[in-house]
Amino acid sequence: MSSHSDDSGDDDETTSPTDKSELHCTIKDLSLKLDDLGTCNDLIAKHGAALQRSLSELEGLKIPYESSEKLKAVNERATLFRITSNAMINACRDFLELAETHSRKWQRALQYEQEQRIHLEETIEQLAKQHNSLERAFRSAPGRASNPTKSFSEGDFLTPKGEDSEEDEDTEYFDAMEDSTSFITVITEAKEDRKAEGGTTGSVEWTSTDNVLDNTSLVPKGPPKVKRRVRIPDKPNYSLNLWSIMKNCIGRELSKIPMPVNFNEPLSMLQRLTEDLEYHHLLDKAVHCTSSVEQMCLVAAFSVSSYSTTVHRIAKPFNPMLGETFELDRLDDMGLRSLCEQVSHHPPSAAHHVFSKHGWSLWQEITISSKFRGKYLSIMPLGAIHLEFQASGNHYVWRKSTSTVHNIIVGKLWIDQTGDIEIVNHKTKDQCQLKFLPYSYFSKEVHRKVSGVVSDSQGKAQYVLSGSWDEQMECAKIVQSSPSSPSSDGKQKTVYQTLPAKLLWKKYPLPENAENMYYFSELALTLNEHEEGVAPTDSRLRPDQRLMEKGHWDEANTEKQRLEEKQRASRRRRLEACARGCGSEDEKETDVYMPLWFEKRVDPHTGEMACIYKGGYWEAKERQDWHMCPNIF
C-alpha cells in the first residue's frame, strides 16, 4: 500500500516529514553540484592564468605585426571567458541561497494547506454526524404523529379547517404526479363506515386493522432445515490512499480498471443480484391477489425492496469471471431456486433465473455500466426484469434505477438511488410509475423518498404509493380525484382523495455487529457460506473472494491478479481459435463465448436480445455431473 503514493500533493499530514527530508536532500544535491562548479571554476582560473602568461610571453617575442594583433585578441577572449565563468559560479551560489530561503516558506505553506484540508474533512464529518443526530431527533420527537404515513408525505401538511363535510375529514389527499412525483398529505383516521366503501377484493382487505405484513399464513416461517451461519470474520482495518488509485481513472469504465480488493466486499455481483430475493414473500403473497392492481402494489414494493440493502453498502462487489455461476437452492425455507451466470465480461453482463414453488418466476439479464466522474461514481444497470405469475398469467416488466456513490475523494461515502421506474403488466396493461427522489441538502423531503401511482388499463389511478427505499413502502386506495386550484406558475394538478395508507413492506433489521461485517443483511451473510454439491464455477469457490472474507487481503490481491491473467489468457485462446475458423475481419475480432446454462433469444415484450435460462443446471446438480463446466478458478 505504501507504493500508492499521491503525486499531486494531496497526501495526509504523515507525508510532511517525508516531503521535508526530500527537500533537504535536493538542497544537499544542489550544494554538491555547486561545489563541483567551484572546482571547475578554480581549474578554469588556473589554466586561464597559465594561458594568459603564455600569451603574454608570445607577445614579447619578435613576431610579425598581424600575429601580434591576433595574440592580443586571443588574450582578451581568455580574460572574458574567465570573468564569465566567475559570474556563472556567483549566480549559482545566489540561486542556492534563494532556494534555501524560499524552501522554508514553501514548506510552511504546504503544511498549512495540509492542516486546512484535514480540518475541513473533520468539519464535514462532524456536520454529517450532527445532521444524522438532528434527523433522528426529529423523527423521534414526541410531537410527531404516530401514523407512519406522515413521515412519507412531501411538502407541508395541510389540515382541513371549517370543513363540514364528513367525507373530507376522513380522507387523505395526495397531489397527483406530474413531471416530478409530489404528494401533499392530510393524515386522518378512517371511520368504521368507511370500510365498506374502501374495501377491496383479494388478499389485501382494506380494514382499519389491516397490515399486509401481518398476514404470515401465506408464507409459514418455521425453523429452517439447514442451520445457516449468522456472522463472518470482522472486516480488517486497512487504510488505502483512494485518490492515488482513482485519479488516473476519471471517465473510464469502472469494470476495466484493475482494483485491489480493498474496495470490494466479499461477495460477487452474482450474489448481489441474488440478494434482490430477500423479500420474496411479497411475491408469494402477490400470487393470491385476485385484483391485478393490488398485485401491482406488491410487485412495486418488491422492486423497491431490492435497494434496501444498498444504503450502507458502498463497497464494490467482485466482478464475476466469465462463466462464473451462483446458485441459491432454498426450496425448503424460501421456496425458490435461483441461478446466475456471468455471460459476458466486457461489458459485464449477468443472466439470472428464479423459480418459486409458490407460483411465480423471475428472470433478468443485467449489464452494469459504471463511470467514475471524479467526485462521484454512477452505476447504471441496463436490462429488463421479468416477473410472471403462472396462475393468472400476469407478466410484469421493469428496469432498475441509477445508483450514485458520492464523496469518492473527500468526506464520508454515501449512496443514493435516483430516476424513474415504470412497471408494466403486459397482460392487463396496468402500470405503475415510481420516482426515486434525489437527495438534496436543502430539500424538506424525507431522505431516500420513493413515491408513485398505480393505474389500471384505462389509465385511471387506483393506488398511491409512498415510502423510502431503505425503510418501508405503503399504499393508499384512491377514492376520488379532482383538479386543484392553479398554482402560482399557472399549472393545475390533480388531487387524489384516498383512504389511510397501509404498510406493504418494511425492511428487516440488520444483524448484530453488521457494521463490522460489511453491513451484510441476514441473507447476505449466508450467500458465500460453503455448500457441498455446487458447480465448480460457483462464486463460493472463488479463491480471492474467500481469502478476502477471511481477512487475508494481501493474499487475496495476489490471487485476484492470477485469476484475471488466467481469464485474459482464455480470451486470447478463444480469439486465436476464432481467427483460424472465421472468415471476415469483424468475426476475427469478436470474442465468441457461449453461456453454459443460458441462451440468447429475442424478448417478445421488449424486442431486445436477452439471455434466457435453457435448463439443465438442476438436473446436472442432481447427477453431480459437472464435466461441461470450464476451469475458471
CA distance 572 to 296: 47
Give the residue carrying C-alpha cell 388478499: 203
Burial of 17 (0-12, 13-18, 19+ CB in 10 A): exposed
Q: Which residues contact 368 (CB under 8 A, 6 or more apart)?
A: 255, 269, 347, 348, 349, 379, 380, 381, 382
- pLDDT for 391 equals 93
Encode burial over 400-422: b for 16+ CB neighbours within 10 A, e otherwise. Answer: bbbbbbeebeeeeeebbbebebe
Encode burial over 382-395: b for 16+ CB neighbours within 10 A, e otherwise. Answer: ebbbbbbbeebebb
- pLDDT for 49 equals 77
CA of 559: how far to CAs of 31, 546, 547, 564, in Å? Answer: 47, 10, 9, 9
The DSSP secondary structure of 270-321, one letter per residue, reads HHHHHGGGGGTHHHHHHTT-SSHHHHHHHHHHHHHHTTGGGSS--SEEEPPP
Q: What nine digits make up the cell of 359? A: 407460483
CA of 600: how far to CAs of 43, 161, 535, 568, 603, in Å? Answer: 82, 61, 22, 24, 9
* Nearest residue to 521 via CA among 309, 330, 235: 309
The ranges of the chain with pLDDT < 70 are: 1-23, 59, 62, 139-225, 239-258, 374, 442-444, 484-492, 581-591
CA distance 434 to 304: 9
Encode burial over 425-446: b for 16+ CB neighbours within 10 A, e otherwise. Answer: bbebebbbbbbbbebeeeeebb
Q: What is the 3-state secondary structure (H, E, C) of 379-426?
A: EEEECEEEEEECCCCCEEEEECCEEEEECCCCCCCEEEEEEEEEEEEC
- pLDDT for 326 equals 97
Query: What sign for the dihedral angle of Cα 511, 516, 519, 524?
Result: negative
Phi, psi of 325 (to 5 degrees): -130, 165
* Nearest residue to 299 via CA among 283, 277, 281: 283
- pLDDT for 25 equals 77
- pLDDT for 149 equals 40
Angle at 123 between CA 117 and CA 125, to 5 degrees: 105
Pair 479, 488: CB distance under 8 Å: no
Phi, psi of 203 (to 5 degrees): -80, -20
CA distance 65 to 198: 128
- pLDDT for 595 equals 93
Q: How many CA atoms lie within 13 A of 215 on its CB side?
A: 21
CA of 84: how far to CAs of 79, 88, 90, in Å? Answer: 9, 6, 10
* Nearest residue to 471 via CA among 502, 506, 442: 506
Q: What nine digits make up the cell of 88? A: 556563472
The DSSP secondary structure of 87-137, one letter per residue, reads HHHHHHHHHHHHHHHHHHHHHHHHHHHHHHHHHHHHHHHHHHHHHHHHHHH
Q: What nine digits make up the cell of 481? A: 380525484
- pLDDT for 194 equals 42
Asked if the bond preceding 381 is cis, omega within 30° of 0, the reply is no
- pLDDT for 262 equals 83
- pLDDT for 358 equals 96
Pair 258, 167: CB distance under 8 Å: no
pLDDT of 256-311, one tens digit each? 566 788 889 999 999 999 999 999 999 999 999 999 999 999 999 999 999 998 88
Pair 502, 474: CB distance under 8 Å: yes
Burial of 612 (0-12, 13-18, 19+ CB in 10 A): middle
CA of 425: how far to CAs of 297, 306, 356, 396, 428, in Å? Answer: 12, 19, 19, 4, 6
- pLDDT for 257 equals 61
Give the residue carrying C-alpha cell 527530508: 21
pLDDT of 94-135, one tens digit each? 887 887 777 778 888 888 888 888 878 777 777 777 777 787
Report the SS3 class of residue 543: helix
Report the SS3 class of residue 529: coil
Relative to beta strand 395-399, strand 402-406 is: unpaired
Angle at 64 between CA 60 and CA 66, to 5 degrees: 105
Burial of 99 (0-12, 13-18, 19+ CB in 10 A): middle
CA distance 299 to 293: 10
Cβ neighbour number for residue 144 with a 10 Å cutoff: 11
CA distance 579 to 590: 9
